[in-house]
Amino acid sequence: MKAGRKRQLLTEKEGEIMNILWDHGPLFVREMLEYYPEPRPHFNTVATTVRILESKGYVDHEVLGTSHRFKAIVERKKLSSRSLADVIRNYFGNSYKMAVSALVEEEKLSVDELKEIVDLIEKNNTSDNPS
């Protein structure tokens, strides 16, 4: 993302295109359409959404003849961690504990999954602080 640009969350449609570009890009819009399930969106809809992504600083293009081939310029991992941080800040008072609690309360996260998370945290802590 370009310096000085305010971070903007992606819409669901923008996220679909980013996933297509991360998985298969760089692509022309007509090639992107091939990765959508039926019924596919209209060419102009995808083209407009790609241009919005470009204006947000997530996508860039190169001119090839009379066409534009688009590519993601923000890494998936960077965008996903930033988006998660934004959601936690905006909806959970910047508390990761509250976010995890909400997942548990809504039964989106099981006790076994919580144990796996604790194991990952402990593993990361021991690898960061060798005794």
Give the DSSP per-residue string, 28-53: -HHHHHTTSPSSPPPHHHHHHHHHHH
Give the predicted TM-score (pTM) of the model: 0.68
- List the pLDDT tens digit at each of the 131 positions of the chain: 445 555 567 899 999 999 999 999 899 999 999 999 999 999 999 999 999 999 999 999 999 999 999 999 999 988 877 778 888 888 889 888 888 888 888 888 888 888 898 888 888 888 766 65
**Gap between the Cα atoms of 96 and 105, Å rounded:** 14
Per-residue CA distances from 80 to 33, 92, 100, 113 (Å):
23, 17, 17, 20
CATH architecture of 12-72: Orthogonal Bundle (1.10)
